[in-house]
Structure 1
Amino acid sequence: MSVTAPSRGLQRYDGALDLAVGAGKLLRSHFTPPMRLFRPYAEAGEPRTLVVANVAGGVVGGDRLRVSLDVGADEALLATTQAAEKVYRSDGAEAVLSNTYRVGPGAVLEMLSSGTILFDGSRLLRSTEVDVVGGGCFAYAETVVLGRIARGEVFANGSLKDRIRLRRDGRLVWADDFGLDGDIAASMAARAGLDGAKALGTLLLVGQGAGQSVEIARAQPLDDGLLIGASALSADCVVIRILARDPATARTALAGIWSASRAAWLGRPARMPVIWSV
């Protein structure tokens, strides 16, 4: 493991975290501030577990942060984040977050984000690149909260550009772009937009047996202001979307689908990581 100090000339963070596991051991672990990596003891029934953290306490315009996780053949890794990432009001510059995940043959990577909170006036450009090789399995979850809802603040000014690319054996199989800019309030209120939702969740499940998560998602109870949609891109590739007016409702729905899906699909305990309860 190595740690590199930031350049004294930087006024914004340019941080990265790069980890690779394979052949039953840690092959590579490198990070630069403000990114940190924690490796708690795995709970019973769980694979190697790690927590990705931004110890700066949030993201501001001009920050550039990168995370790369590479899981080698027949390895298993459960990754989560320390807390919801807060993206603060910008002075005009975009914050750029780049995530890269690679899953080798027969490997399993679960990447469960604690979510992202966009403060009013924030500007975020995020890209997520995924490559699943051979018979690998990949599960990804992310929730975006549009404003500090508990304080009565809604994300009405700024911009969000969220890009996901999924490849299987190097071939592009799914491309998704979501954006909010301009008259954000109108987009959030429109029936063809977010229909009043202030939180949106995405689950992506890839690998043999992932298709059963469609019925799990459709069986979730729908509270007022909660919408859940599940699409099977193929028999072993599923995208699930969650829209909710209350972020806590979105988080509960995501946890229910995630827990039940990993139990049925991967044979893992039907639970969220302990850090989600801290």
Structure 2
Amino acid sequence: MSGFNPSDDALRDVKLAHVPFPLPRVALWAFTLAVALGFAYIVAINPNFGWPVVAQYFFDPTVMQGLSVTLGLTVVAMIIGVALGLILAIARMSQDRLASSLAGLFIWFFRGTPLLVQLIFWYNMSTLFPRISIGIASWNTNDLITPLTAAIVGLALNEAAYMAEIIRGGLLSVDKGQAETAQAFGMTKARALRRIIIPQAMKSIVPPTGNQLISMIKATSLVSVIAMADLLYSVQSIYNRTFEIIPLLLVAVLWYLLITSILNIGQSAIERHYSRGDRGLTTDKKKENPMPSGAVDERA
């Protein structure tokens, strides 16, 4: 057909595809921004939220003390959980049927029961075992299982079960040939795991571990049911006196959001650090096989 030029139509389609903000998209962005600003304005002027009370108690000493307890529980429980999770993951992957079965049983139990129930059981351990004996030594269970130890043990063991599966998945993502090569060079299994396998598995382990850390921050709020003075328990103790329930809960919500936002930034930085190798590999492949923009790969 005369006057028809396919290359002109293709060029026109390419130009339209590269329009940075087509009109419908701009309208959608404007509508979304207007709705968000409208909602924020309604929340800001609503006196029922009690924003002056929120500002008054945001840095209250009782709240700060509860925040420090929340952060301390998170750090300690995560360290113990990661360490136990690594041991459980290695045992789960072991050729030893006994070690693998015991690790699998641990993971099955602690992943299959609610964390709140586990915390309550640990806190009431004296009901089941009034005294704990090891050899000739014996202690009163209430002296050992305080709210603090119950919170740490409950959070750490629950976290260990989840971290075991995360670490196991990361270890399985590494090519088996890496371990075989390390053994061929005379490395022991433990050294190969420490020097070769785990560093490569970190790329798969870090993102879900960051998610678990953020979940742990929020899970610490459950220890308030065993009278542990964390952030939530602290604001509850204040609004039980002042009856300002919503403003004090907003104080806790804002602190949780602030902490998790900081952790998200840190997680993103760590993920970029461990993904540098992939970006370098992708760049090298592009250099080896350069292709002009818009060209069609005839090998496809």
Structure 2 length-normalised TM = 0.24
More helix per residue: 2
More strand per residue: 1
Bigger CA radius of gyration: 2
The one of the two structures with greater contact order (alpha-carbon pairs below 8 A, sep at least 6) is: 2
Structure 1 length-normalised TM = 0.25
